[in-house]
Amino acid sequence: MIIFTSHDQIIHEYSLYKYFLIFSISFISNMFSAISGGGAGLIQLPALILSGLPYYQALATHKIATVALGLGGSIRNSKLLRKDVNVICQILIFGTPGVILGSWIVKFLSEQFLYLILGILSIFLAVYSIRKKSLGMNSLNENIKLIFKIEFIITIFIIGILNGSVSSGTGLLMTMLLIKSYKIDFLRAVSLTFFTVGIFWNAMGAILLSRIGFIPINLLLILISGSFTGGYLGAHLSNLKGNKLIKNTFTIVCLLVGISLLIKSLELFFM
């Protein structure tokens, strides 16, 4: 059950300037995230932590806000989703248990190793995207063989575990997995990622993580408005500019997320 604080329970007071700053951070980070297929946690989560929220409380707040991002992006790209109902069902059926498991075991996992693994993977995705010029530029609508479908399902479950326990990078992993497995373009893959990971996975993770502590309702409303509008605009720009913009943004965000996660990992190792 998600528990929100009433006004007299909120510990941290925010000025009008801070509200505007948090909205701007949320709007910009989620706009780029909607274009690239992930990475909103790169800026949004650290901003919440710096505002005074404990890590798990900030993570739960961030995940609820990214549900609004998923809604904003999905509403703009709803027509694209109709082609891939079967893929959506696979992601939700086999990935959601991973999210639940990840949210449950997050306290027992080594944060520095999770950050290290995701950081290396994110940088690898960026390098791979740069080297493969035609990657994700067109949709071939290929049906994959049973053995590759099983691999796809297992990988979805693993990404779900990471999504339930770590804030950044899993949307990028899902986007690349969809492109590689089904040979679809970036626009279609990002649309699927935000409908499944952005809305359903993050909602499940937020519900489970919010049990740890209170979530300040005033801050959450600001984040939701920034996430939704940023997500809608990002999806709109993706449709206008096409796969080239999405791929370039995806590559940049992967590099930034990867470097950020590696720095976090090193900080935890030497603490």
In terms of average pLDDT, the best of 71-75, 91-95, 109-113 is 91-95
Distance CA 100, CA 224 (A): 23
CA 247 to chain centre: 16
Check residue 167 and give its pLDDT.
61
Q: How many CB atoms lie within 10 A of CB 81?
A: 17
Q: pLDDT tens across 191-200, in order?
A: 899 899 888 9
Mean pLDDT of the residues in the chain:
81
Taking alpha carbons only, the member of 193, 209, 192 closest to residue 45 is: 209
Distance CA 46, CA 122 (A): 18
Judged by average pLDDT, the poorest of 83-97, 203-217, 236-250 is: 203-217
- Both structure tokens of 136: 């994700």
* Bridging pattern class, strands 215-216 and 4-5: parallel
Q: Does the global pTM surpass 0.85?
A: no
Judged by average pLDDT, the poorest of 60-69, 120-129, 230-239 is: 60-69
Query: For residue 7, is pLDDT > 60?
Result: no
Q: Among residues of the chain, what percentage have pLDDT more than 70?
A: 88
Per the model's pLDDT, the better-predicted residue between 6 and 50 turns out to be 50
In terms of average pLDDT, the best of 53-57, 226-230, 239-243, 258-262 is 226-230
Q: Is the dihedral of CA 9, 12, 17, 21 positive or negative?
A: negative
Counting the structural domains of the chain, the total is 1
Per the model's pLDDT, the better-predicted residue between 178 and 257 turns out to be 178
Cα–Cα distances in angstroms (integers) from residue 21 to residues 6, 24, 159, in the given order: 22, 5, 31
**Coil/strand/helix, residue 134:** coil
> Which residues span the domain enclosing 116?
4-269
Query: For residue 9, is pLDDT > 60?
Result: no
Range 10-35 average pLDDT: 78
Q: pLDDT tens across 102-133, in order?
A: 878 876 767 677 778 878 888 988 898 888 88
